[in-house]
Amino acid sequence: MSHDQHLSPNHQVASAVFSTDGKAIASGLGEKTVELWDATSGERLQRLEIPVQKGIGMAPDLPPHVVAVDLGVNPTIGPFSSNGRLLAVEAGHEFLLFDVATRKPLISVDLNSVVGPTGQPQGRGVFALTDTVLATAFYSGTIALWDLKTGEKIRQFVGYRNVASLSISPDGRTLASCVCEVVEPVGHGWPGDDDFGGHAIQLWDMPTGRLLLTIERHLSDKRFESQMVNVQSVVFSPDGRSLVSGSEDKTIRMWEAATGKQLLQWNMEDKVYRIAISPNGKKIAAILAQGALTCFPIDPGQPDKPRLAVDDKAFDRLWTDLAGQDAAQAYLAVQTLSRDGDDVPARIGKHLKPINSFAYWIAELDNDTFDGREAASKQLAAFGAQAEPALRKALNETESAEVRSRIQPLLKTIGEWVVTDPDTLRSLRAIWVLERMGTPEARAVLEGLANGAPEARQTQEAKAALDFLDKRAATAKP
């Protein structure tokens, strides 16, 4: 594996994040210091002394925990210029959002208001945030969500103990957490107490606090499969299609968000304590055990290699792989298709069409005849996860007991977070191919798919891909 550069080689780095434009990295250092680095050259750009607010106090020898930097325009906080930098840190038992230029806090959240399930002290927290919401987690397993406009707590729920890292999906609906070593006895009523050692990464539904998915733990060696390996960091990719985690087993791994299965693995020189992904989704930054900060590309580029047309046989094989349960093989197909053929968007466009409205079949659930109702149920079941958003919307709006009685079992079948339906998997991964290509031809196909039924999963994913491409293009502008 090739590393671009090592940053801050002479200091112990405690946390690091990319700036919004991907051009800088912020890291916590010392008791009250944050440093900004050039992400390309490794040159230090700025050193900030975080002012300690009256009554807050910082724990001795604990550097500020950097959560985010350079959030850009944030209408919920104030009319800051697009090139103004905002710095989010934990200092003591407060979460603080600073204007870098003035070093003045804009928002302060009192983390002492979080009460754990046993009444024990929360300890130091971990954080994730969007422009509107802050998520916090503590050793006790308590996860809390906060309104960044008011600093008030939105909701609180109990997750797994000793959360080491949090990340919020780009759409703001899903929270990822990872768990490191447990040192206290189980039996206090936390989720997963009976088999806690086997859990490492969880996905949570933010509006409800419902656990959506548990991803298998890191295993450094098959000889030690019975031992728990500490996963220290997890982060969503900027497009939300994958997660990346870092562990003490000296590996960084990428997981498919839709299936929870591993896509890639990088072997590092030392234990991995923190990771970040650049806003364009192309680089990973990792803090290793000795405090070194290293950057490397997710997909090594081949700028001098011309795109080649994919012949029919090869395309058919790769198209089949996109629908497979082998996520790593499917991701290899995603990489190949997005790299090797200018004709790929047109081919995908022939196979993948916008989803028509589910309204007809949902209405048929209340057909006057039993056979008509049965046919509608079978057709909606065949749509798989594509129909889930429409079915949930109909369940909330319908007054028909018959329709509710048919939708509820359908949702139990197709409403799980993990996508297993081959057609849906192929659709999501094909959209990933188009997003990775980002060419005018690929965008044209995405725009066509985005014109499908608004409630269809495929339509929503195509829109999300276009939004990501727009954000990436805006970030790339000087």
Residue recorded with tokens 């954000």: 471
Q: Find out whether 221 and 211 touch, Cβ atoms under 8 Å.
A: no
Task: Determine the 3-state secondary structure of 332 from DSSP.
Answer: helix
Give CA–CA dist 436/445, Å, rounded.
13
Give CA–CA dist 94/58, Å, rounded.
9
State residue 66's pLDDT score: 62
State residue 445's pLDDT score: 98
Q: Find out whether 239 and 254 touch, Cβ atoms under 8 Å.
A: no
In this structure, what DSSP letter does residue 385 have?
A: G
Q: How many CA atoms lie within 13 A of 54 on its CB side?
A: 0
Q: Find out whether 197 and 130 touch, Cβ atoms under 8 Å.
A: no
Give CA–CA dist 392/410, Å, rounded.
10
What is the C-alpha R_g of the chain? Answer: 23
State residue 435's pLDDT score: 97
Residues 6+ apart with CB under 8 A from 424: 384, 385, 386, 457, 458
Token pair, residue 357, equals 């409205």
In this structure, what DSSP letter does residue 144 have?
A: E
Token pair, residue 372, equals 């008509």
The bridge status of strand 283-288 relative to strand 272-277 is antiparallel
Q: Find out whether 231 and 199 touch, Cβ atoms under 8 Å.
A: no
Give CA–CA dist 106/150, Å, rounded.
11
Name which of 200, 255, 256, 262 is nearest 229 in CA terms: 200
Token pair, residue 28, equals 């916590």
Give the tens place of pLDDT for each residue, 98-156: 776 676 777 777 777 666 655 554 555 778 877 778 888 876 678 889 887 777 888 88
Token pair, residue 409, equals 């079992």
Residue boundaries of the structural domains of the chain: 5-297, 302-478
Strand order across the beta sheet in which 104-110 lies: 65-69, 86-91, 94-99, 104-110
State residue 330's pLDDT score: 97
Give the tens place of pLDDT for each residue, 197-240: 445 788 998 888 888 888 866 665 454 444 556 888 999 999 99
Exposure letters 417-435 (e unless 16+ CB within 10 A, then b): bebebeebbbbbbbbbbbb
What does 146-177 look like in DSSP terms, one character per residue? EETTT--EEEEEE--SSEEEEEE-TTSSEEEE
State residue 185's pLDDT score: 35
Report pTM: 0.77
478 residues of the chain, pLDDT tens digit each: 444 444 444 445 556 677 767 777 777 765 567 777 787 888 887 777 766 544 444 444 455 566 655 444 333 333 333 344 677 777 667 777 777 667 677 777 777 766 665 555 455 577 887 777 888 887 667 888 988 777 788 888 877 777 888 999 998 889 999 877 544 433 444 444 444 444 578 899 888 888 888 886 666 545 444 455 688 899 999 999 999 999 888 999 999 999 999 999 999 989 998 888 988 888 999 988 877 888 899 987 655 555 556 788 999 999 999 999 999 999 999 999 998 778 899 999 999 999 888 888 899 999 999 999 998 998 888 777 778 888 988 999 999 999 999 999 888 877 678 888 888 899 999 999 999 999 999 999 999 999 998 878 899 999 999 999 998 888 776 5
The CATH architecture assigned to 5-297 reads 7 Propeller (2.130)
State residue 463's pLDDT score: 96
State residue 128's pLDDT score: 83
Give CA–CA dist 77/97, Å, rounded.
10
